[in-house]
């Protein structure tokens, strides 16, 4: 290269004037950079000002930042001894949340290089000391998990023995168990919860809390008259974005909300609760010699053992109330935690078995309308098991709508009264989301560029928090453990569980009896 610069350099050595010209040429980029810097600053301040004005106009300028993991208060010295009743796939998440993991999972996650987040999870100072499952294989998994020496949060391996209990009654009778986590098929939830409350054990129970009025009333009374801490297993409201959504509702950004739409959108056999086959199409393990079938059936009608019933119990009304019990429960909790609407005045459900025409009783297409005249609001639930088009969860107000998923997107309504001036002034564009909260950036932000708008509208945003994926189940369990120690009431407490159970039972009754079902608040009865 150096050899190529010839004539000019030679000339510049002889004449000072030309040397200056060379210098000017050499530095031709400098003024360009100056112009660039000026434009960059101008662009940056324009964007900042626009965002700030928008966020301010919407009254979102002083939203508190989400607190992600609060460190637990109270004495952490008292170890809590936990028994897990029902050790299927859901219980695996519970054990992980408690800081325990099966050796095989540890190996697999180490291989995939995704152990760090779990290892960073705070130690809750608990031990799993009991496992109860009617299926030997599942019970063995639970025992291996509870005994594993690899622990989250740098916790020391538990030194307490881990016992397998043949029945839940046996576990509840044991004074060496302080609290139980119930992750059985749904027909056992209420009877076990009632027995646990009577035995003075703290309860973490998966949704749904109960399947009938005959179950929910005694469950509610027993838990309320006991000293146990009851938490219903709804993890999604622990997501940091719910804290922001609550503020947005509180600040009345959306105007008067008269419709909330919630949905389920699935299109797989697994999603339709066909789960008795493994990846190769062979039946999953389990037969009458390894499964205590009578105990599994519990109070439900006696039927011969079937792998289909054992794995696909959701399909049958004896064990579950279908989509309402499995998925609407989460939707209801999400809405009720934000709006505190409680039990509806009336419910109408309709639907049918239109795609998965097997031996199921549960609908695969279901619509439920819940009326709240005292709140001027309708809650809709629309579930679909043969199409996965993402329809989201939307709160619709007169002035704006809020879509609440992995991120929050607020779209101002074109006919809004509150934002009329801003829309006319061109500050607010009602054609796309205007404000989004992406948990990745940890703050509410105005959406200005087309690409940002595009991604925000589709929720294509990553959900890590400060680079660490925080498990929401862990947060929900942590809240329960913290409340056991502090005596406070957790978010998915028995009052919330009662409202949810009654609402779900009403919806189910309406579907089965093909009629509009109402709630009598005075007699506290479904009519």
Partner 1 sequence: MKDLAKYTAAEKFVLVALRILIGWHILYEGFAKLLIPNWSAASFLKESKWILEGFSSWIIANQSVLNIVDFLNTWGLILIGLGLILGLFTRIASISGAALLLVYYLNNPPFIGLEYTLPSEGSYLVVSKTLIESMALIVLAVFPSGYFAGIDMLLAGRKNK
By the criterion CB under 8 A, which residues form the site for partner 1? 1-2, 4-9, 12, 22-23, 25-30, 32-33, 36, 40, 44, 47, 112-114, 438, 440-443, 445, 451, 454-455, 458, 460-462, 464, 467
Q: Exposed, middle or buried, 418 (CB in 10 Å: 0-12/13-18/19+)?
A: buried
For partner 1, the closer of residues 280 and 451 by Cβ is 451
Residue 413, both tokens: 């309504």
The candidate with the shortest Cα–Cα distance to 195, out of 222, 176, 213, 217, is 222
Which of these, 50, 31, 30, 32, lies nearest to 42 by C-alpha position? 50
Nearer to partner 1, 68 or 318 (CB): 68
Q: Closer to partner 1 at the Cβ: 88 or 459?
A: 459
Burial (Cβ within 10 Å: 0-12, 13-18, ≥19) of residue 34: exposed
Q: How far is the CB of 4 from partner 1 (least distance, A)?
A: 5
Distance, CA of 160 to CA of 180 (rounded, Å): 16
Q: What is the CA radius of gyration of the chain?
A: 29
- CB of 463: closest distance to partner 1 in angstroms? 11
Question: Of the two residues 116 and 425, which places its CB atom closer to partner 1 in the complex?
Answer: 116
Shortest distance, CB of residue 26 to partner 1, whole angstroms? Answer: 4
In the complex, least distance from residue 410 CB atom to partner 1, rounded to whole angstroms? 18
* Nearest approach, Cβ of residue 238 and partner 1 (Å): 21
Q: Identify which of residues 35 and 527 has a Cβ nearer to partner 1 in the complex.
A: 35
DSSP state for residue 199 in the 8-state scheme: T
Q: Which residues of 314-333 are buried (b: 16+ CB within 10 A; e: fewer)?
A: bbbbbbbbbbbbbbbbbbbb
- The structure tokens 């509208």 sit at 457
Q: What is the dihedral of CA 435, 436, 437, 442, to 10 degrees?
A: -80
For the CB of residue 118, give the shortest distance to partner 1 in the complex, in Å: 14
Residue 280, CB half-sphere, CA atoms under 13 Å: how many? 3
Which residues make beta-bridge pairs with 365?
Answer: 352, 384
Task: Choose between 50 and 458: whose C-beta lies nearer to partner 1.
Answer: 458
Q: Which is nearer to partner 1, 265 or 295 (CB)?
A: 265
Burial label for 207, CB within 10 Å (0-12, 13-18, 19+), is buried
Q: CB under 8 Å to 151, separation ≥6 — which residues?
A: 99, 100, 123, 157
* Cβ at position 265, least distance to partner 1 in Å: 17
Q: Closer to partner 1 at the Cβ: 131 or 447?
A: 447
Structure tokens at 466: 């400060």
The least distance separating partner 1 from the CB of residue 60, rounded to whole angstroms, comes to: 16
Q: Can you give the length of the chain in residues?
A: 527
Q: In what order do the strands lie in the sheet with 400-404?
A: 443-446, 435-438, 408-412, 400-404, 394-397, 257-265, 377-384, 365-372, 346-352, 517-520, 525-526
Which of 305/455 has CB closer to partner 1? 455
The minimum distance between CB 59 and partner 1, in angstroms, equals 21
Least distance in angstroms from the C-beta of 108 to partner 1: 14
What are the Cα distances from residue 349, in Å, to 429, 506, 516?
37, 9, 8
Task: Name the minimum Å distance from CB 442 to partner 1.
Answer: 8
Q: How far is the CB of 117 from partner 1 (least distance, A)?
A: 9
Contact of 131 with 165, CB cutoff 8 Å: yes
Angle between helices 136-147 and 89-98 (to 10 degrees): 10
CB closer to partner 1, 355 vs 454: 454
Q: Report how far apart, in Å, the C-alpha atoms of 37 and of each of 43, 48, 342 are.
A: 10, 16, 56
């Amino acid at each position: 290269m150096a050899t190529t610069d010839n004539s000019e350099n030679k000339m510049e050595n002889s004449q000072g004037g030309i040397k200056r010209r060379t210098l000017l040429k050499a530095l031709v980029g400098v003024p360009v950079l100056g112009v660039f810097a000026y434009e960059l600053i101008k662009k940056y301040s324009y964007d900042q000002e626009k965002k700030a004005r928008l966020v301010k106009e919407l009254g979102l300028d002083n939203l508190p930042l989400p607190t992600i993991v609060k460190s637990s208060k109270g004495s952490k010295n008292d170890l809590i001894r936990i028994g897990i009743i029902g050790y299927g796939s859901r219980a695996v998440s519970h054990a992980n949340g408690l800081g325990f993991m099966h050796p095989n999972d540890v190996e697999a996650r180490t291989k995939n290089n995704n152990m760090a987040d779990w290892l960073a999870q705070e130690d809750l100072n608990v031990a799993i000391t009991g496992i109860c499952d009617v299926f030997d294989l599942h019970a063995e998994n639970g025992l291996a998990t509870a005994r594993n020496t690899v622990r989250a949060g740098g916790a020391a391996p538990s030194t307490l023995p881990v016992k397998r209990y043949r029945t839940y009654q046996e576990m509840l009778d044991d004074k060496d168990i302080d609290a139980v986590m119930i992750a059985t098929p749904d027909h056992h939830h209420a009877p076990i919860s009632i027995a646990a409350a009577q035995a003075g054990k703290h309860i973490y129970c998966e949704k749904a809390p109960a399947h009938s009025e005959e179950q929910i009333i005694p469950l509610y009374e027993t838990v309320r008259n006991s000293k146990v801490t009851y938490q219903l297993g709804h993890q999604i409201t622990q997501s940091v974005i719910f804290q922001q959504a609550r503020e947005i509702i509180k600040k009345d950004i959306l105007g008067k909300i008269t419709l909330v739409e919630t949905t389920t959108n699935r299109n797989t056999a697994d999603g339709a609760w066909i789960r008795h086959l493994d990846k190769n199409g062979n039946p999953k393990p389990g037969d009458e010699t390894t499964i205590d079938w009578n105990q599994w059936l519990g109070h439900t009608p006696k039927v011969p053992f079937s792998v289909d019933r054992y794995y696909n119990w959701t399909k049958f009304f004896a064990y579950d109330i279908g989509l309402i019990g499995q998925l609407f429960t989460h939707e209801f909790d999400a809405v009720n935690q934000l709006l505190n609407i409680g039990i509806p005045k009336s419910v109408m459900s309709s639907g049918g078995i239109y795609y998965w025409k097997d031996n199921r009783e549960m609908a695969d297409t279901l619509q439920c309308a819940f009326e709240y005249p005292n709140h001027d609001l309708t809650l809709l639930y629309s579930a679909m098991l043969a199409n996965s088009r993402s329809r989201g969860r939307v709160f619709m107000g007169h002035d704006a709508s809020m879509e609440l998923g992995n991120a929050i997107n607020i779209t101002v309504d074109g006919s809004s009264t509150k934002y009329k001036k801003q829309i006319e002034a061109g500050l607010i564009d009602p054609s796309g989301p205007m404000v989004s909260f992406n948990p990745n950036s940890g703050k509410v932000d105005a959406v200005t560029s087309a690409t940002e708008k595009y991604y925000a509208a589709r929720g294509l945003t990553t959900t890590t928090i400060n680079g660490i994926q925080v498990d929401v189940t862990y947060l929900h369990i942590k809240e329960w453990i913290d409340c056991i120690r502090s005596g406070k009431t957790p978010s998915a407490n028995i009052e919330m569980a009662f409202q949810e159970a009654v609402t779900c039972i009403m919806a189910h009754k309406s579907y089965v009896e093909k009629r509009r079902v109402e709630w009598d608040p005075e007699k506290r009865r479904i009519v």
